[in-house]
Amino acid sequence: MNKVTVQCPGTVANLVCGFDILGMALNAPYDIMEVRLIDEPRVIIISKDGFPLPSDPAQNTAGAPLLEMLEELNGDTGPANRPTHPVGFEVSITKKIKPGSGLGSSAASAAGAVVAANHLLGNIFSKEDLVRFALFGEKVASGVKHADNITPCIYGGVTLIRSIFPLDIVPIAAPALHVTVVHPQIEVRTSDARQILRKQVLLKDAIRQWGNIAGLVAGFMGHDYDLIGRSLEDVIIEPVRSMLIPGFDAIKQCCKEAGALGGGISGSGPSIFMLSRDESTARKVENIMKDIYTRIGLDHHTYVTTINQQGVKVVA
């Protein structure tokens, strides 16, 4: 096999209270990537849908991780079963996850590229290795190696990143949940959304946040919907970032009144997500989101989906 096509899921990072440590993969939206082996040690990037993606692989969120993979393949510490002849990759990307949406667009590119390349190489790298490579794509996108989108995109489901240095990933068995997402058609760059955050927090706020993170993880693992709902609270990041998102407070309040467990900003925004126990509630939440943004006069896209348990998937 010298060519593979993969489906790369969108992701919700932070899950309200877990800034940079919690993430969840979605069944929609997703990108499509085709990766082909070539017989020279370089990376070629092709955009299939007109998005102005950087053609320089070192500046591309899919290309940078592949360059790291090639460096390890060609280095002294590469896997024993690596190819004995020069290899490289040609990557064709069809973006359905809009950059700047807060739905893990850069992570989908980075994770999809390394999963596809690894498949072509005979799966010689572990999932943890793939996360390590893909982090270089997130560094290109935001200037920071954060794994809360990358990890669920590769592992599937809900994941906890206990540590990046060294990498320590904990998959979390979450209950069945329906996810409603609205993406108002404005852009919030991850790098910009990080710059506005406070550098220091009050101890009382940190204690409350730690309790919410622990409660959310316990709620997922215990399939305790009420505990999940009570724990979906952010007293540190959301109060600052929500000011960048029109209609945020109204959407959150009205969706919870309609029966949603809770939710908040997806990643750095501007997308907003809400979790529900069942599809009928998730559809009510979608209608509320649409109504609020229609009244504001802001174009938007919505998704009603579920948790993607597989992560990046080989489709051809």
Give the domain range for residue 123: 3-172+309-314
Domain of residue 75, CATH code: 3.30.230.10
In contact, 268 and 241? CB cutoff 8 Å: yes
Quick one: 23 and 152 in the same domain? Answer: yes
In contact, 114 and 91? CB cutoff 8 Å: no
Quick one: 42 and 123 in the same domain? Answer: yes
pLDDT classification of 74: cutoffs 50, 70, 90: confident
| pLDDT mean over 208-213 | 98
> Given this model, what pLDDT does residue 108 score?
97
Quick one: 22 and 164 in the same domain? Answer: yes
Phi-psi sector, 104: left (phi>0), alpha (psi -120 to 50), beta: left
What is the spatial distance between Cα 86 and Cα 216, in angstroms, rounded to a whole number? 47
Q: What is the pLDDT of residues 35-73, one digit of tens each?
A: 999 999 999 999 877 677 788 999 999 999 999 999 999
Quick one: 88 and 190 in the same domain? Answer: no
Quick one: 166 and 214 in the same domain? Answer: no
Mean pLDDT (the chain) is 94
* 10-14, 31-35, 141-145, 291-295: the lowest-pLDDT one: 141-145
Instruction: Print the SS3 string covering the chain.
Output: CCEEEEEEEEEEECCCCCCCCEEEEEEEEEEEEEEEEECCCCEEEEECCCCCCCCCHHHCCCHHHHHHHHHHHHCCCCCCCCCCCCCEEEEEEECCCCCCCCCCHHHHHHHHHHHHHHHHCCCCCCHHHHHHHHHHHHHHHHCCCCCCCHHHHHHCCEEEEEECCCCEEEEECCCCCEEEEEEECCCCCHHHHHHCCCCCCCHHHHHHHHHHHHHHHHHHHHCCHHHHHHHCCCCCCHHHHHHHCCCHHHHHHHHHHCCCCEEEECCCCCCEEEEECCHHHHHHHHHHHHHHHHHHCCCEEEEEEEECCCCCEECC
Quick one: 8 and 146 in the same domain? Answer: yes
pLDDT at 163 over 80: yes
Read off the pTM: 0.93
Using alpha carbons, select from 28, 24, 38, 37 the residue that is nearest to residue 7: 28
Quick one: 91 and 30 in the same domain? Answer: yes
Q: What is the pLDDT of residues 224-258, one digit of tens each?
A: 999 999 999 999 999 999 999 999 999 999 999 99
What is the spatial distance between Cα 42 and Cα 252, in angstroms, rounded to a whole number? 46
Quick one: 8 and 145 in the same domain? Answer: yes
Quick one: 132 and 198 in the same domain? Answer: no
pLDDT at 195 over 90: no
Angle at 12 between CA 315 and CA 20, to 5 degrees: 120
Which residues lie across from 275 on neighbouring strands?
179, 262
- Rg of the Cα trace of the chain? 19
Using alpha carbons, select from 132, 137, 153 the residue that is nearest to residue 26: 153
The residues annotated with a catalytic role in the active site are 138, 190
Quick one: 20 and 158 in the same domain? Answer: yes
pLDDT at 5 over 80: yes
| Domains identified in the chain, total number | 2
The angle that helices 127-142 and 63-74 make with each other, rounded to 10 degrees, is 130
| pLDDT mean over 187-212 | 88
Quick one: 149 and 47 in the same domain? Answer: yes
Which residues lie across from 34 on neighbouring strands?
5, 92
Quick one: 216 and 271 in the same domain? Answer: yes
pLDDT at 308 over 90: yes
What are residue 181's phi and psi, to 5 degrees?
-125, 135
Domain of residue 285, CATH code: 3.30.70.890
